[in-house]
Amino acid sequence: MFDYSLAHWAAFLTAAILLNLTPGPDLAFILGQTARRGVRSGFSAMFGIWTGAFVHVIFAALGLSAILATSAFAFSIVKWIGAAYLIWLGIQALMSKGTSISVNGQISSNGYSKIFKQGVLVAALNPKVAIFFLAFLPQFVEVGAGPVSAQLFLHGTLIIVVAAFIEPPLILAGGKLRGYLTHNRKLSRWMDRGLGTLFVGLGIKLATSDRL
């Protein structure tokens, strides 16, 4: 079971690395929280994103993602909810006027929990991710290597494992930027505006997107 060739793993890991480095709502949310509230917030966002992504992995393994791929109604419902949520996050950042930057570095456990939950929703409410997994993972299914659902689950989980080697260094690097933001309210205000615009743009892009 799970007997793959070296060429298989080389192709998969290359694709997984490129996937995790591709800019999108997930990475933008993680780095945005890091720059605005610090490294711990960045990690809270990261774990939330991973949890939301894992939901898509389970759905892909169970075949539920096919519903989004074949049902225009189901896709539209999830798409509009996800788009609205991204735009709402963007509007919050645009209205913060730089006050979202944590000056004293103290955030309550409830604050970290809120960031985690937001990360889960950012990832889970993106139907494009579900359909991507449905289209991407089957390419690495091999006859005789085990049940299809188990292979899909394995490769989907490994994509998150690869993220564990890529995203933490980015968070630590992004944490250094926060030092400049906490001492420069004007810069932090522009940071919020930039992040707000980015999330609104990503929300609009999702809202106007079609199924793959």
pLDDT digits (tens, 9 = 90+) for 131-187: 777 777 888 888 888 888 888 899 999 999 999 999 999 999 887 766 665 555 665
* Separation of alpha carbons 122 and 112, rounded Å: 15
Q: What is the pLDDT of residue 182?
A: 57
User: Which residues of the chain carry a pLDDT beneath 50?
Assistant: 99-105
Dihedral sign from CA coordinates of 74, 80, 83, 85: negative
**CA nearest 204: which of 101, 84, 30?**
84
Q: Record the tokens describing residue 98, joined without a space.
A: 């730089």
**CA nearest 196: which of 124, 116, 89, 100?**
89
